[in-house]
């Protein structure tokens, strides 16, 4: 049995038995549901995404429904998922899908990649998970599984490399349906078993052939892994400012926004950043609102 089959067969069998029942994996989610989930799940855990995803799809079941709304409504509905520029990008993609593709999420990988706000990962994920196509889908979880099982290192590089992309392509099953299943299965394995910390090797279907485990689990020797901090950062201030604007259904005076953070220089920098990113619209008279256009 080839190395690829030694990976594919047990991981897919494990996935068949242990995959979480998530709404975007159900047939009724459709391609739009898959796309929405992919935007929301970037850097955000499943348990935080689930309620917002359900509300979003109930309100905007098709791209045209979202495209008909002001972009600020997408930001408002995004709630506290974080990285709210994703809401604007998803709105922009919905507008493009409505204008270019008759309101249907395109099936072609190149057309997906041409949508605003969609990069290589999201295009591959939608093509694979929504349409069952054969594409390497490299998120953090998959990259960690491949780094350990095949390359023999604890963690992948901080940024995706050409070598990782080449390896992912080489490991793709030839059959389209199997390739799509492998993409979902390897991602789930990284999310549930081959986690960043406290990996569950006794539960892993490929532990017996994992290069990192067989090498004695050597410690990470590459550049320090980036930690994510939040408290006291501009991200936190931006979140507090956006929270006020999301709750308001009329323009908000500067004085109200000034109350959310004690340090005026950082507060002004965060507000300027929100305006530059298109998440907040300044109005005459020192008023601010979520964007209408």
pLDDT in the model for residue 33 = 98
Residues of the chain with pLDDT under 70: 1-3, 225-228
Whole-model pTM: value is 0.90
CA distance 203 to 91: 40
Eight-class DSSP state of 60: -
Measured from the Cβ of residue 130, the count of other Cβ atoms closer than 10 Å reads 22
> Do 21-131 and 140-215 have matching folds?
no
CATH number of 140-215: 1.10.1670.10
pLDDT of residue 232: 83
Residue 226: predicted pLDDT: 67
Q: Which residues are CB-contacts of 179 (< 8 A; sequence separation ≥ 6)?
A: 128, 133, 134, 135, 172, 173
Q: What pLDDT does 71 receive?
A: 97
d(CA 186, CA 35): 19
Cα separation, 83 vs 67, in Å, equals 20
Residue 90 has a pLDDT of: 98
Catalytic residues: 38
The mean predicted confidence, pLDDT, of the chain is 95
Sole residue written with tokens 């929100």:
274
Q: What residue spans define the domains of the chain?
A: 21-131, 140-215, 234-282
* Domain covering 21-131, topology: Endonuclease III; domain 1 (1.10.340)
Residue-level pLDDT at 228: 64
Query: Tell me, what's the pLDDT at 242?
Result: 95
Nearest to 8 by CA among 259, 245, 209: 209
What pLDDT does residue 208 have? Answer: 96
């Amino acid at each position: 049995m080839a190395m690829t089959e030694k990976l594919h067969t047990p991981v897919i069998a494990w996935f068949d038995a242990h995959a979480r029942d998530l709404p975007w994996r159900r047939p009724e989610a459709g391609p739009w549901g898959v796309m929405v989930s992919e935007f929301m799940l970037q850097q955000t855990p499943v348990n935080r995404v689930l309620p917002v995803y359900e509300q979003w799809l109930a309100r905007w079941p098709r791209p045209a429904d979202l495209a008909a709304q002001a972009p600020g409504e997408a930001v408002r509905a995004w709630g506290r998922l974080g990285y709210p520029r994703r809401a604007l990008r998803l709105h922009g993609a919905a507008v493009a899908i409505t204008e270019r593709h008759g309101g249907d999420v395109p099936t072609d990988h190149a057309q997906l990649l041409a949508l605003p706000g969609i990069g290589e990962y999201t295009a591959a994920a939608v093509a694979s998970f929504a349409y069952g196509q054969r594409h390497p889908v490299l998120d953090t979880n998959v990259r960690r599984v491949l780094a350990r099982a095949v390359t023999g290192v604890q963690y992948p590089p901080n940024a995706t490399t050409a070598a990782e992309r080449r390896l992912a392509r080489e490991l793709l099953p030839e059959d389209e349906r199997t390739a799509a299943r492998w993409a979902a299965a390897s991602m789930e394995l990284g999310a549930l078993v081959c986690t960043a910390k406290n990996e569950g090797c006794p539960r892993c279907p490929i532990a017996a052939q994992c290069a990192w485990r067989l090498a004695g689990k050597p410690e990470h020797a590459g550049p320090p892994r980036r930690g994510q901090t939040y408290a006291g950062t501009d991200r936190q201030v931006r979140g507090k400012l956006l929270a006020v604007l999301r709750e308001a259904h009329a323009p908000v005076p500067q004085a109200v926004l000034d109350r959310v953070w004690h340090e005026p220089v950082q507060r002004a920098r965060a507000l300027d950043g929100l305006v530059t990113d298109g998440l907040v619209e300044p109005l005459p008279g020192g008023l601010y609102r979520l964007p209408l256009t």
